[in-house]
Amino acid sequence: MMSKSRLEAFSDGVFAILITILVLEFHVPEYHQGHLAAAIAQQWPEFLAYAVSYFYVGTLWLFHHDYVASLKVIDRNLNLINLLSMFSVTLFDYPMSLVATAIAERNTADIRVSFMIYSAVALFISSVYYVMYRYLYTHQQMMDKNHFVFDRGIKMDPLRSIALYGLAIITSIWSNWIGGLLLLAGIAFHFIAYLHLSRNRRQTSKLEV
Amino acid sequence: MMSKSRLEAFSDGVFAILITILVLEFHVPEYHQGHLAAAIAQQWPEFLAYAVSYFYVGTLWLFHHDYVASLKVIDRNLNLINLLSMFSVTLFDYPMSLVATAIAERNTADIRVSFMIYSAVALFISSVYYVMYRYLYTHQQMMDKNHFVFDRGIKMDPLRSIALYGLAIITSIWSNWIGGLLLLAGIAFHFIAYLHLSRNRRQTSKLEV
Amino acid sequence: MMSKSRLEAFSDGVFAILITILVLEFHVPEYHQGHLAAAIAQQWPEFLAYAVSYFYVGTLWLFHHDYVASLKVIDRNLNLINLLSMFSVTLFDYPMSLVATAIAERNTADIRVSFMIYSAVALFISSVYYVMYRYLYTHQQMMDKNHFVFDRGIKMDPLRSIALYGLAIITSIWSNWIGGLLLLAGIAFHFIAYLHLSRNRRQTSKLEV
Amino acid sequence: MMSKSRLEAFSDGVFAILITILVLEFHVPEYHQGHLAAAIAQQWPEFLAYAVSYFYVGTLWLFHHDYVASLKVIDRNLNLINLLSMFSVTLFDYPMSLVATAIAERNTADIRVSFMIYSAVALFISSVYYVMYRYLYTHQQMMDKNHFVFDRGIKMDPLRSIALYGLAIITSIWSNWIGGLLLLAGIAFHFIAYLHLSRNRRQTSKLEV
């Protein structure tokens, strides 16, 4: 009914722009003339925040890519869910910016707040992915059967992510380190889940051949 | 005569960039070290402005998507009208930015001005959509007949929007609240019109099958 | 040999981003609380500069669209010329920004400089378009014969533009008004040339049918 | 297994956005009213930095274009390597910004640091391209045999670039001029390598015909 190609073009556009805009948050530090090197050396946490965020959004793109590839058709509801999904993804620029600013100022209370909001947005993104998977699961006629592993392999993954990010928010109250590590664990979990998912799909493809 | 795919690619690009750039207006608040949480808590109106604007532009994209899908061919005039339409859409970044700034400063007179300009740009966007629909209605040979519901269902919608946004501008003179609510009503109206339109189309498709 | 679709995707991306980024130069004015309306009212020259620039870049996109549509194949040299063309087009953000800043400050000498650089970049863009047309003219085997009107109709147009922008630069020395009007004339000329070109093509198509 | 078109759309998006964002670093200079001309005249090093960076990223796009064109299929690992490649490419905005800032302030020590980081990012980009070529070389079944020249012609090129950029970093310690020239040589080398590569391919095509 609706065109898969325009949904892909719009989503690829949003992902490509967001991922390229993120790097603008990792900007030239303020410095006194002749002391640029020292100022840059202190930027490693910002660089780390950028690198982690880049691969987080990149993994979200990989999942989105596979999700759309597994669809035979697109209906109105899926288009609306996708619009919500892109909303949650664009929102991500804000916590990335908060974390970069808070880390640059090295204030513990502010870093805590920025980590909590970063985790909250990641939790929101995972919730929308859960709705996306759920919708596909209850509308199996929309599914391209060559991708049936997709559904089985990752049905519970967004729920696991939601739990991890929820835990990251709560533990941030006591410790930035534990909260930050759980946040990193959540992002690493996405990446591992993707590797796992694509390995499964490959094995199934081989069995079929 | 002209390529539908490049018109789509260019328009999707503009929509995707605009919708991703909007979020840059929802930026890290100025704050004193250690008081980031309080500063963020005060940002809810800016967040609301962003969320509303995102779904407004998203709905415009959905309509644009359906409009182009309903075309068999594209001619020069339609390409020019589309260029004008993209102009009205890019313009939207300015009032979004005005509203975010005015709300952040909590000055009633400035909020009024920003609401009026936001409504005026929305009115302009709807006027260009009216021209787009009108052109298709008077050039029915360009239409893909599988989408004939499209035309019947929404011919008057842009005029209704124009009336709503016009009213929003006028009532803003007396009250920011009424003006703001009418503005929200205008945006909600687009969304409801879209749901209505796509439901109609589905029913027609079923009858045909 | 090379893929037309990726050249189009890359070029459409650059055009869409540039045209959307231009609007960022038309930003919220600095104002004292409660005086936003007065500050906006003074922005009409910036708005005019944005509107003119938008339709200038939009017309460049229309020409680029038709140029690529008229190609059967793409070779390495054309890909390099296209890269140069995109360079000249991205460069355009700088004079747009200069003009917006200079106009906002209302200093005659600075406005003159900004107009001259704006004209110089427009002259550079037209020169690259001349090279593009010239290359197609001397490599007619790359041309899609259904578009033969394209070549005949506009061979001399870039040279006419170059002359107009050159004149705009020179006359700016004596008068901002004459320089500015010639600049506007150059941009209007592109638009009229495009209307003329597409009318020709339509008539030819009718004759063929 | 995976869709070549979305990998291309995403990568084209990132390249197009990055190359258009680069120009934002070449911004309106700070100036006293009436002295815009003098301020612009001093910007030639920033303009040079932009022009060089544009053609550097443009050449990277040309190589990426040819690389993907030479693939028959895409697997998970290639998608991950491409994500890493896009990471290295987006990172490029930072040193471009550093160089523009450092050059604008004319401080020798800061220019040195900015050149070294620019070279380091270029070295990183070349390393990822090396991994990309290496992966294709060890998975020849993924290759489109019509592009076999591609592999032979450029296998060692990334290693040569890595050596040049490494040398640029080291010599920058003694002289900004030598370091800067080696950096320029590295970028020119990419361009020459591309011309060489595409000439080879053309000759092979002729032999085959």
C86 phi, psi to nearest 5 deg: -65, -35
pLDDT at C120 over 90: yes
Residues of A in contact with B35 (CB under 8 A): 110
Q: Which of B186, B54, B44, B59 is nearest to B122 (CA)?
A: B186
Residues of D in contact with C176 (CB under 8 A): none
- For residue A29, what pLDDT is reported? 85
Residues of D in contact with C18 (CB under 8 A): 20
pLDDT at B143 over 50: yes
Q: Kindly determine whether residue C36 and residue B6, on different chains, have CB atoms separated by under 8 Å.
A: no
Residues D106 and D100: their CA atoms lie apart, in Å, by 10
- For residue B207, what pLDDT is reported? 43
- For residue B150, what pLDDT is reported? 54
Residues of A in contact with B9 (CB under 8 A): 9
Nearest chain C Cα to D25, which residue?
C94
Helix (H) or strand (E) holding D203: helix D176-208
A186-204 mean pLDDT = 74
Q: Kindly determine whether residue D20 and residue C90, on different chains, have CB atoms separated by under 8 Å.
A: yes
Subunits touching D (CB < 8 Å, at least 3 pairs)? Answer: A, C
Provide the shortest C-alpha distance from residue C170 to chain B (in Å): 31
- For residue B200, what pLDDT is reported? 60
- D188 C-beta neighbours (distance < 10 Å), count: 15
pLDDT per residue over A83-127, tens digit each? 999 999 999 889 988 998 888 888 889 999 999 999 999 999 999
C54-74 mean pLDDT = 87
- C77 C-beta neighbours (distance < 10 Å), count: 13
pLDDT at D15 over 80: yes
- For residue B67, what pLDDT is reported? 85
Residues of C in contact with B26 (CB under 8 A): none
- Which of C4, C14, C19, C57 best tests the B interface by mutation, with the highest count of B CBs <10 A? C19
Q: Check if the beta carbon of residue A51 is closer than 8 Å to that of residue A25.
A: no
Here the tokens at position B203 are: 């029913």
- For residue C153, what pLDDT is reported? 57
Chain A segment 58-77 residues within 8 A of D by beta carbon are 58, 61-62, 65, 68-69
ipTM: 0.83
- Which of B5, B8, B14, B23 best tests the A interface by mutation, with the highest count of A CBs <10 A? B23
Q: Which of B45, B43, B50, B49 is nearest to B19 (CA)?
A: B50
Q: What share of chain B is helix, strand, coil (3-state, %, to 5)?
A: 85, 0, 15
C156-174 mean pLDDT = 87
Mean pLDDT of chain D: 83
Can you spell out the DSSP letters for B13-27? HHHHHHHHHHGGGSP
Three-state DSSP state, C173: coil
CB proximity A55 to B under 8 Å: no
Provide the shortest C-alpha distance from residue C154 to chain D (in Å): 28
Lowest-confidence region among A152-161, B167-176, C38-47: A152-161
Q: Check if the beta carbon of residue A65 is closer than 8 Å to that of residue D74.
A: no
Q: Check if the beta carbon of residue C183 is closer than 8 Å to that of residue C119.
A: yes
Using 50, 70 and 90 to split pLDDT, how confident is the model at C84? very high
- B121 C-beta neighbours (distance < 10 Å), count: 20
Q: What percent of chain A has pLDDT over 90?
A: 21
Provide the shortest C-alpha distance from residue C104 to chain D (in Å): 11
Q: Find the CB nearest D16 among C3, C13, C79.
A: C13
pLDDT at C166 over 70: yes
> Taken in order A38, A39, A42, A45, is the CA torsion positive or negative?
negative
D94-113 mean pLDDT = 88
Provide the shortest C-alpha distance from residue B89 to chain C (in Å): 9
Residues C65 and C57: their CA atoms lie apart, in Å, by 12
Nearest chain B Cα to C62, which residue?
B79
Residues C29 and C104: their CA atoms lie apart, in Å, by 9
Subunits touching A (CB < 8 Å, at least 3 pairs)? Answer: B, D
pLDDT per residue over C133-159, tens digit each? 888 888 888 877 665 455 555 667 788
Residues D108 and A35: their CA atoms lie apart, in Å, by 11
- For residue A205, what pLDDT is reported? 46
Residues of D in contact with A202 (CB under 8 A): 1, 76
Q: Kindly determine whether residue D107 and residue A201, on different chains, have CB atoms separated by under 8 Å.
A: no
Q: Kindly determine whether residue A90 and residue B54, on different chains, have CB atoms separated by under 8 Å.
A: yes
pLDDT at A169 over 50: yes
Nearest chain D Cα to A195, which residue?
D76
CB proximity B56 to A under 8 Å: no
pLDDT at D192 over 80: yes
Here the tokens at position B133 are: 């629909």
Mean pLDDT of chain A: 83
Q: Find the CB nearest C17 among B13, B86, B109.
A: B13
- For residue C54, what pLDDT is reported? 92
Place of tokens 């979305």: D6
CB proximity B108 to A under 8 Å: no
Q: What share of chain A is helix, strand, coil (3-state, %, to 5)?
A: 85, 0, 15
In angstroms, how far is the first alpha carbon of chain A from the final one?
Answer: 31
- For residue C147, what pLDDT is reported? 58
Q: What percent of chain B has pLDDT over 90?
A: 21
Q: Kindly determine whether residue D13 and residue A8, on different chains, have CB atoms separated by under 8 Å.
A: no
- For residue D67, what pLDDT is reported? 85
Q: Kindly determine whether residue A102 and residue B36, on different chains, have CB atoms separated by under 8 Å.
A: yes
Residues with Cβ < 8 Å from B103, sequence gap 6 or more?
B45, B46, B49, B111, B114
Residues C176 and C111: their CA atoms lie apart, in Å, by 7
Q: Check if the beta carbon of residue A12 is closer than 8 Å to that of residue D13.
A: yes
Mean pLDDT of chain C: 83
Residues of A in contact with B48 (CB under 8 A): none
pLDDT per residue over D125-173, tens digit each? 999 999 998 888 888 888 776 654 555 556 677 888 888 899 999 998 8
Q: Kindly determine whether residue B83 and residue C36, on different chains, have CB atoms separated by under 8 Å.
A: no
Here the tokens at position D154 are: 């450029």
- Better pLDDT: A204 or C53: C53
Q: Kindly determine whether residue D195 and residue C76, on different chains, have CB atoms separated by under 8 Å.
A: yes
Using 50, 70 and 90 to split pLDDT, how confident is the model at C63? confident
Q: Kindly determine whether residue A54 and residue D13, on different chains, have CB atoms separated by under 8 Å.
A: no
B136-164 mean pLDDT = 74
- For residue D56, what pLDDT is reported? 92
Residues with Cβ < 8 Å from D156, sequence gap 6 or more?
none
Q: Kindly determine whether residue A55 and residue D93, on different chains, have CB atoms separated by under 8 Å.
A: no
- For residue B146, what pLDDT is reported? 65
Nearest chain D Cα to C84, which residue?
D55
Q: Find the CB nearest C105 among D33, D195, D201.
A: D33
Q: Kindly determine whether residue B58 and residue A113, on different chains, have CB atoms separated by under 8 Å.
A: no
pLDDT per residue over B83-97, tens digit each? 999 999 999 888 988
Q: Kindly determine whether residue B83 and residue C28, on different chains, have CB atoms separated by under 8 Å.
A: no
Q: Kindly determine whether residue A14 and residue B13, on different chains, have CB atoms separated by under 8 Å.
A: no
Residues of D in contact with A27 (CB under 8 A): 94, 97
Question: Considering just the CA atoms, what is the radius of gyration of chain B in Å?
Answer: 19
Nearest chain C Cα to D65, which residue?
C6
Helices (H), chain C: 4-22, 36-41, 44-69, 76-90, 93-105, 108-138, 148-154, 157-172, 176-208
